[in-house]
A and B are shown apart, each in its own frame.
Chain A
Amino acid sequence: MNMDKILEIIRELVPGTDVAADTLLIEDEIIDSFDLVALVGELSDAFDVQIGVESVTPENFETPSAIASLIERLREG
């Protein structure tokens, strides 16, 4: 399932953090813009989608759920 995979990727990127589907990733500074590129790379590999820089916005990465919807949109798109 997408969400489990997304959570696993984030936990690997920022070890020692408690992350759930509705965790505020950007607002609570769990990830910052410097981590975002790494995260996008991992997500692209894991879900075989192409995420352009223009999709790397705070809204799209607000929570793991928001990331899941972004991936859905890109897969349909």
Chain B
Amino acid sequence: MNRLTKFDKFSALTGEFMQRGVRTNFFKSREQIERAISDGSVYYELCETSLLLIFSGKVDKLYFMLLSGGRFPELHLERSTVCEYAYKTGSSPDVADELVKLGLLHSANRERYEFAGTFPSEFPAGVRFAVQNDLGFAEEVLSVCFDPLTGCLPTRDELSSDIAARHLLVADGGVLRFSTDGTVGELNHLAVLPKARRSGVGSALVTAFLAAASARRFRLWVRTDNPVAQALYRRFGFAPGRFRSEVFTFTPKDQSV
């Protein structure tokens, strides 16, 4: 694997692969890419028909750009890695075989839900915007509720930025992370401690999210094997939309995350 040290190099590599028929799961902003390159955490493996990019972190994230009919380059994964790719419902993604050859296992499916309900009129009691003092609590609740490998958990820095941007809500025993670009508000993580479940904390947090995120549309991704979460979102008027995703993971032998 080769480490990427210059943004120009990244640009040249990906530019070659932005062509007709290419399949990719790579969508990041220039800012995110530049930050990762300056942190020294971006690696790549290249062959004629595909480019693999690894963004190294707590868990490595694998991105690919694959020409139609192409094959992935040889790559020996050594660290815990996750690769998620989304596709339109009804189309059939066909990179699964290539990912399995790299040693990844299919481990989850997610569905994108779109909001078509009615807006809450009030911000609920018992929910507030997180402050920096809530950082430890938020980290704890998220780590209890999400699989570290597939949960796309934010780093401490990201959580801290969420707090500064007023994108993190807390309630007794629960947290909700969201993002918004002014048009689309996305619920990124909803986590409620087991002892606080079935008490309305999750509903209060979702109500607060809908009331607080200034956006015209709302959406979220939910695992297809999580009926409890699906039922909660459906009660608010969220329903499956046009996209699904498959999540593949790699865990090194003799090592847990």
Which residues does A use to contact B, with CB under 8 Å?
27, 32-34, 37-38, 40-42, 44-45, 50-58
Contact = CB atoms under 8 A, between A and B. Distances in A.
Given A57-B29, A57-B30, A58-B181, A52 B11 contact: yes
B11 A41 contact: no
B22 A27 contact: no
A53 B181 contact: no
21 contacts: A34-B86, A34-B87, A34-B88, A34-B243, A37-B22, A37-B23, A38-B20, A38-B21, A42-B20, A44-B18, A45-B19, A50-B15, A50-B16, A52-B14, A53-B14, A53-B18, A53-B26, A53-B27, A53-B33, A56-B27, A57-B29
B33 A54 contact: yes
A5 B242 CA distance: 28
A36 B22 CA distance: 11
Interface string B1-23: 00000010011101110111111
B25 to A, nearest CB: 10
B14 A45 contact: no
> For chain B, what secondary structure do more than half of its interface residues adopt (helix, strand, loop), or is it mixed?
mixed
A74 to B, nearest CB: 10
A12 B20 CA distance: 13
B18 A50 contact: yes
A27 B183 contact: yes
Interface string B45-79: 00000000000000000000000000000000000
A51 B86 contact: no
A30 to B, nearest CB: 13
Contacts of A54: 7, 10-11, 14, 29-30, 33
Given A34-B86, A34-B87, A41 B19 contact: yes
Interface in B163-197: 181, 183
Interface string B120-158: 000000000000000000000000000000000000000
Contacts of B183: 27
Contacts, number: 57
A44 B29 CA distance: 20
B24 interface: yes
Contacts of A45: 19-20
B21 to A, nearest CB: 7
Contact of A51 (B15, B29, B242): B15
Given A53-B18, A55-B30, 13 more contacts: A33-B27, A34-B86, A37-B18, A37-B24, A40-B18, A41-B19, A41-B20, A41-B22, A52-B11, A52-B15, A53-B11, A53-B14, A54-B7
Return the 5 tightest CB-CB contacts between A and B, nearest first. A41-B20, A52-B11, A50-B15, A53-B14, A54-B30
A55 B28 CA distance: 10
A16 to B, nearest CB: 16
Contacts of B86: 34
A27 B87 CA distance: 19
Interface in B196-223: none
A52 B18 contact: yes
A53 B7 CA distance: 11
